[in-house]
Each structure stands twice: as structure tokens, then as C-alpha cells.
Amino acid sequence: MVTQDSSADLAQKFPSLSLTISKLLDKREKNYGTFQVAKEAGFYSLYIPSLPSFKLYQNDKSHIYKGYWREYGLPDLKDRSCKPDLVIRKKQKQVPLRKTNKLIKQRIYEIVYKYDTSPEIRSVNQLLASFIQSKIESSMSSASMEEMMPLVLKKEI
């Protein structure tokens, strides 16, 4: 049974996997060791022994990430029936300032990953979500006067 470990605990338990995931998010191939990363037609694939491969499509500038656990083949990004196992949902809301009645906008990035009954896949999903959260947070500059600091959340469904 898998307990709800924090992402820091998972990263400490699996340092080699953590390094490989950071290479995956940095779009760098790794073809040695137990965990490998390879580029395949617009996707970067994470190969873990005895698990299906994880295919990740990412656009860093607009913070678009879509991840799929697949045994064979690449997912079709245009096919809406092919649901990703990990995705970023972007939202925007208007927040009133207390001192003035002015509304300012706040961007919200929600990292959503599917619950998986396999404890290994679930742990990898948690690690991926944490690394993506850190990457998005580090890429954000300070908010402007018309905008509140963006919020980055993780959610397992």
C-alpha cells in the first residue's frame, strides 16, 4: 500500500528517477542507466523498466504539458478522445483588492494527474507533478501591478 508521501520524500527515495525526470522536463535525452529519456516526434519519453513508457508533450513558453502512459505508439494530440494522464489546466480569475474596489487578475495553473492503482505509476505521477510545479513557479517573474502572483496547484483525480 502506498502512503501519501510528500514530493520531497519521494525525491529522496528515488534520486536516480528524480534526476531522470529533471532531464525529461529539460528536454534532454538520457540513454544510459536504469531510467532513460528519448525524443520521439515532438514527445519526450521516459522509460522505466517493467512499466509502460511515459510520453510527455510540453511547450514551456505557454506552460502546456500533456503526459500519457502508453505501452506502444504515440498519442494523437488532436484526438480529443485520447485523454492525457497528466495535464495543466490554466484558469484566470478576478480578485478584488481590499483597500480599493479595483479588480486584479490572477492566473491559476492546476496540475492534474490521474489516480493510478499501480503504486509505481502513482509515485512517478506525484514526482512529475511536483517537478512541473517547481518548473512553472521558477519561470514566473514577479507579478505586475494589474496582476496578482500566479498560483500553481497539484490535483489527483
Confidence class for position 5, pLDDT limits 50, 70, 90: low
Mean pLDDT over each residue of the chain, to the nearest integer: 89
Alpha-carbon gap, residue 28 to 87, rounded angstroms: 20
Say whether pLDDT at 37 is over 70: yes
| Residues in CB range of 103: below 8 A, 6 or more apart | 94, 95, 96, 97
Average pLDDT over residues 67-90: 92
Alpha-carbon gap, residue 90 to 109, rounded angstroms: 5
Q: Which triple of cell numbers denotes residue 153?
A: 496547484
What pLDDT sits at residue 143? 60
Q: Which residue type, as a one-letter code, is found at position 75?
A: P
pTM, rounded to two decimals: 0.88
Q: Which residue type, as a one-letter code, is found at position 19?
A: L
